[in-house]
Every structure is written in C-alpha cells, then in structure tokens.
Amino acid sequence: MLYALLKLAHLLAAIVWIGGMVFAHWFLRPAAMALEPAVRVPLMQAVLRRFFTAVAVAATAVLASGLWMIGRVAKATVQVGGSFAMPLSWTVMATLGLVMIAIFGHIRFALYKRLRVATEAGDWAAGGRALASIRTWVGVNLALGVATVAAAVLPL
C-alpha cells in the first residue's frame, strides 16, 4: 500500500510540473504576447512566482518519492536474498529527473531572479529578455519531462 501511495504522489507531482509547463508554454505565453510589456511582464512575473513555488514542492516530491520507491524495492530484493540492479527505465528516468531539477534550479534562481529585479525596476526590456530565456529553458524541461514519462512507461 505504501508503495502505491508513493507512486501516486510521484505521478501527481509530475503531472503538476509537466502540466503547468504545457499551460505556460503553449497557452498563457502566446496569449500574453498580445499585451503591452508594462502589463505582460508584471503579469508573467506574478504567475511564474506562484508556479515556481508549486514546482519546487513538486520536484521535491518527485525526487523523494522516487528515491523512496527505489529504496523499498532494493530492500525487499536484498531481504529475499537477491541482489538489486536498477531497471534501465528507472535509471534513465532518475537521470533525466535530476537534469530537470538542475534546469529548474537555473530557471528559478538565476532567470526568475532577473525577471523579478527587472519588474521591480520597471525595466520592461530586461524583463522581456528574462522571460525569453525562461521560455527557452521551460521548453527544454518540457521536452525532457515528456522523455522522462516515455522512459518510465515504454519498455526499454
């Protein structure tokens, strides 16, 4: 039962993270581009502040639940006298997941900080540049997120 709950938390966290990126990348941003920079940049900063807080929680939950599941399987295997070897799909998923977390760290702590400073200064040009960089890296993480789900569910 605990394993199933861990997997549920893992999947819900991944859905929040990947679903949020899909919404921001393909729905919110294209529509916001029609707004004046003085409206668009503060709006995007306010949306991304909330979203990145949710992603920080989701990424922590994905990592913790993933490591916990691996630990439980490894322990159960060793207890029945077997030796634990990570399935390839888990190794690929965990590696891609860690890369995604590192990229998120760059988005949150370098690029978003630039966006916040620019917004507070009313520098819409700098804010627009920060948003363009965030868009690029969210696109990369979105592609990695899809690859991670594929690695998790397709037979490798």
CA 93 to chain centre: 13
CB atoms within 10 A of CB 68: 16
Binding region for ligand HEM (CB under 6 A) out of 31-39, 40-48, 62-70, 130-138 = 62-70
Question: Sign (positive/negative) of CA torsion 42, 44, 45, 50?
Answer: positive
**Residue 88: CB minimum distance to ligand HEM, A:** 12
Helix axes 124-153, 2-23, angle to 10 degrees: 140
**Residue 50: CB minimum distance to ligand HEM, A:** 19
Is residue 69 a contact point for ligand HEM (CB under 6 A)?
Answer: yes
The label of the residue with tokens 């900080």 reads 113
Is residue 90 a contact point for ligand HEM (CB under 6 A)?
Answer: yes
Binding region for ligand HEM (CB under 6 A) out of 6-14, 33-41, 120-128, 132-140 = 6-14
**Residue 151: CB minimum distance to ligand HEM, A:** 8
